Amino acid sequence: MQASDGRRVAARLGRLGVWSGLLNQLPASEEQAFARQVEALGLKTLWIPEGSGGKEVFSHAGLLLAGTERLVIASGIANMWARDAMAMANGARTLGEAYPGRFVLGIGVSHRPAVASRGSTYAQPFTRMQAYLDAMQAAPFGGPQAAEPVPWVLAALGPRMLRLSAERTAGAHPYFVPVEHTQQARQTLGPEPLLAVEQAVVFETDADRAREIARTHTRRYLATENYVNNLRRLGWTDADLRAADGGSDRLVDAVVAWGDVDRVAPRVKQHFEAGADHVCVQVLTAEPSTVAVIEQLRRLTPLDWST
């Protein structure tokens, strides 16, 4: 699929989805039960990561697809350094044939420390991605063909990767971004490609407590140069971006929506107003708990996300 297929993929994902790294910590039966609860809420899409030392993304997606009936599973994001281009393309083709229309392949260049932990060298990520997509496109496959190709999207932050997303894939999946990035991303992508944005949320009305929970999230990502460089492009300063602090209050508030549903929901809607087709909500809680995540999602799912 190419950017011209972005509208069709957007309709398949629905407006509101879920992004969860919590599933990496769960046995298969428990994460399948969580996915069925997401499905029962009426949500169409569940995004799963592929972090260093976490579950391998294709086998992980297969577990979740097998445990649900309609839910779309999207990789957010499959690491190109973890497998060669043929393995990436054919892993997606295998799931696409087995579960028609229910898998979306998000691909990314990852981050220097994660790549180093795999014994690889992080170098020229943009050029590497261009060549990788060429090799994926050319990869032979001897298995049965899917009824339709699995959509590819890129984990894109900067303008070059966003343009590549528009030229070579169905669209982009930006992560750890404020609303102003969504507006710029849509302008760069143009109207047709998919724009699927992650938004972290904390359902806590006490500011100090909410930011304490949020900083368990921001501290991790402010230690990675790609996210920091993207925020610098948006005008954030070194004082805002100190990883040891987890970011300034202003930055934390920009990348993590917190409060009651009347405060969290408008942030999600701001992404739609800025040009997002799909927002995958990542619920952050004080303690890891699928029960708490589902409970918080129930606050959002009854709302009207159509406009």
Q: How far is CA 66 from CA 13, 47, 77, 226, 258, in A?
A: 18, 15, 20, 34, 34
Mean pLDDT calculated for residue range 118-140? 91
Is there a contact between 223 and 243 (Cβ–Cβ < 8 Å)?
A: yes
Domains located in the chain, CATH noted: 3-300 (3.20.20.30)
Signed CA dihedral, 77, 80, 82, 87: sign only: positive
pLDDT at 116 over 70: no
19-54 residue pLDDT tens: 999 999 999 999 999 999 999 999 999 999 998 889
Query: How does pLDDT run across 165-200, given as a tens digit for each residue?
Result: 999 999 999 999 999 999 999 999 999 999 999 999
Token pair in block for residue 123: 């170098």
Query: What crossing angle do the helices spanning 125-138 and 85-98 adopt, rounded to 10°?
Result: 50
Place of tokens 């699927």: 196
Cα gap 83→270, rounded to integer Å: 36
Distance CA 45, CA 180 (A): 24
- The pLDDT, as a whole number, for residue 191 is 97
Higher-confidence position of 122 and 290: 290
**Single pTM value for the model:** 0.96
